[in-house]
Every structure is written in structure tokens, then in C-alpha cells.
Amino acid sequence: MMSKKLTELETEYSDLAERLKLDHAENELNDLIEESKALEFWTDNLKAQKTMKQIAKLKNRLGPWFEVRDSLAELKELADLEDKQMASEISEQVDLLSQKLARLKDELKLSGPYDDHDAILSIYAGAGGTDAQDWAQMLYRMYNRWAEKNSYGVSLVDQAMGEEAGIKSVSVDITGPFAYGKLKGEHGVHRLVRLSPFNADNNRQTSFAKVEIYPKIEQPDEVQINDKDLKIDVFRSGGHGGQSVNTTDSAVRITHLPTNLSVTIQNERSQLQNKELAMTILRSRLASLQIDQHAEKLSELKGPNVSAEWGNQIRSYVLHPYKQVKDLRTNYESKEPDKVLDGDITPLIDAYLSYSATLN
């Protein structure tokens, strides 16, 4: 009986390890560790830091799986001894290991090509005037609160304030384990229905905001872009209300000509910093587009259909005449929109991950 349980557990682990390509990841980790032992490793400090970061990320990801693998081998050796006095303890350890493997199975939901990357989150106010800009601000706060509750880092990349209230757009960096994998389901149009605080009659108002989530691609070799495909413009940064941020041409706009994707950054004082940040975001958007369009090469990409995206409503938040948040893909519902807007979106994230796993 004990042997049968262990065999079933071994088979389950082997299937999961194959799906997650753990052998390939282990070989990559070993190669990086060997590379880090070279005498000239720290000659290029920036490259060395990136390598050490990748080693840490792989160790963090693979560690729990290897613990299960090693425990399985140990338990099999003990079971082969057929010691009746140890049978109860072995049975207990097998049950605990089974529970640990069940928890690790959730990682299958986060096995996409960029799921373990940090994320770039952008929010754009849509139709609805000041109400939409206020709605964009509310979403920005929601994601900040979620990040705070889950110990994720958030840093501002760029922001355009609304004239009366709220924000026209905002982009932030979200750093933490599987940030992109967890947030990728938030990509799309979010709809709010409420009594407007911005008109005298307090009428019911429907507002829209678009949320974009991209995996943060810092290493150029992950998404290689031909320099001939880029148009780079520099200009003077402008602040809120039109005032000049500085007197140098530090703002940068980079356009990828084949897809007409454009990224503008004016947040940093240095033109070089703005260019590096713009290239990171451009690589990130191209990687996301590549996933969406199932393209093997960047040359196969078509430009995103921006107008169609506005019809891609993924979730409704209703505050009046009733209270409800409903995801239109998973049909997950919550009767507590105030909690959701305060950052309690993990159930919505989990529902999407389960839903998307059934599509693969």
C-alpha cells in the first residue's frame, strides 16, 4: 500500500517536472553558477549583477521542487527497508509530501514564458471625462493596495494628471515573485457604474479605463530589436499644466516602425535614463504583442488594434443601483466592491489563472 502511494506520488512529480521543464531550468542554473565562479566574472559588474539575480530567481523557483524530489528518494529508500516500526512515520511523511506537491501544482498556472518577470502596469482613462480620470485614479490605488498587501514593490514610471481630478494615464513598475504572471489577467477594459460625484444632479455615470500589463524585459537578448526599425525623437520635458520640467531635451519618444508602437518617457532628468527606460517598456510591449499574436519573430508582428481593445471589456464594477464586481471571462462575482477597490483582488486573479489553465 505504501509502495503504491509513493509510486503514484513519483509519477505525479515526474509529470509536473516535465511540464515545468525543471531539468532544463536546473541545467541553466548550473551553467550560471559555473559562470559565476570564473576569475573574470566581476570584471563586467553590471552583467555579473544580472547573472546573480538570475541565479537567485532560479534557486527560489526550483528549490521547493527539488526538496520534493529529494524527499521522495529518501522515503522510497526507507519504504524498501520494510521496517514495520517506521511504517506509520513514513505514511505521515508521504501525506505531508503529497500536500506540498499539491500546493506546488499551482505553479503550473504561472508557467508562461514571462510569468516569472516583474510587470509594467499602465492605466489610461477612457470614455467618461472627469469621471473616467477619477476611475483611472481609483484603479491605480487598487493595484497599489494589492501590491502593498502582498509585499510587492511599486515605482512610478510616468504619469499625466487630469485637469480637474484623477489621472489621464499612469505607468508603474511592479516588482516581486511572478508579478507579471499574477497580473496579466488584469489586461483589458475595466467598467465602472456609479453615481457621479462630478455633476450637480449626481446622475448615474458609466466610466471606462484601460489597463495594460506587460512583462518587464530588461535584458535586450530576450527581445532583440533591429535598430533600423526604431525612430527616436528627443524633446523638452513638459510638466503638469504645461510648465517646463527642465531646460534640456531630456524627454524621449521611441517608435517601433513595423508595428507603430510608441513609448514616450520624460520622467527622468537624464536623456540616457529616459531612453533606457523607454527601450525596456518597448521590449516589454513587443513581448506581450508577440504572445498575443502567437508570432515566433518580431518581423511577423502586426500593430495592435487599439480601437478593438476598448471593446474588450473584461470586468464591471457596479456601485449603484446595486453593489457587485463581475469578471466577464471567469464569471467570478463579488458583492463587496469596496473591498476589491481597496486591493482585495487576489480571488479575481486566482479565478483568472484557473480559467486560463483550462484553455491551454
Predicted confidence pLDDT, tens digits, the chain (360 residues): 557 788 888 888 988 888 778 899 999 999 999 999 999 999 998 889 889 988 988 888 788 899 999 999 888 888 877 777 777 888 888 888 888 888 787 767 887 888 988 999 999 998 778 999 999 999 999 999 999 999 999 999 888 898 889 999 999 999 988 899 999 999 999 999 999 988 777 788 899 999 999 999 877 778 888 889 999 998 876 654 444 444 566 789 999 998 888 888 887 668 888 888 888 899 888 888 887 777 777 776 666 665 435 667 899 999 999 999 999 999 999 999 999 999 999 999 999 998 887 665
Residues 168 and 204 in one domain: yes
Q: Grid coordinates standing for 50?
A: 544580472
Q: Identify the residue whose cell numbers are 503550473.
A: 108
Residues 97 and 149 in one domain: no
Q: Which of 57, 77, 110 is the last residue of a domain?
A: 110
Structure confidence at residue 311 (pLDDT): 65
Based on the fold, state whether residues 192 and 262 are members of the same structural domain. Answer: yes
Strands 153-161 and 119-125: unpaired
Instruction: State whether 79 and 142 are in the same domain.
Output: no
Query: Are 201 and 231 members of one domain?
Result: yes
Query: Hey, what's the cell of 237?
Result: 520635458
> In whole angstroms, what is the distance from residue 277 CA to residue 74 CA?
48
Same-domain status, 60 and 167 = no
Q: Which of residues 80, 110, 140 is at a domain's end?
A: 110
Does residue 46 sit in the same domain as residue 98?
yes
Residue 290: give its domain's CATH number. Answer: 3.30.70.1660
pTM value > 0.75: no
Q: Which three cell numbers stand for residue 333?
A: 462575482
Q: Can you give the pLDDT at residue 307?
A: 45
* 205 and 165 within one domain: yes
Judgement on whether residues 120 and 202 belong to the same structural domain of the protein: yes
| Structural domain range at position 32 | 2-110
- 81 shares a domain with 119: no
Bridge partners for 155 per DSSP: 173
Beta bridge pairs of residue 235: 251
Asked if 109 and 182 count as a contact pair (C-beta separation under 8 A), the reply is no
If asked whether residues 281 and 189 sit together in one domain, one would say yes
| pLDDT value of position 244 | 45
Give the CATH number of the domain where residue 51 resides: 1.20.58.410
Looking at the structure of the chain, the number of domains it has is: 2
> 60, 92, 110 — which closes off a domain?
110
57 shares a domain with 126: no
DSSP 282-311: HHHHHHHHHHHTT-SSGGG-----HHHHTT
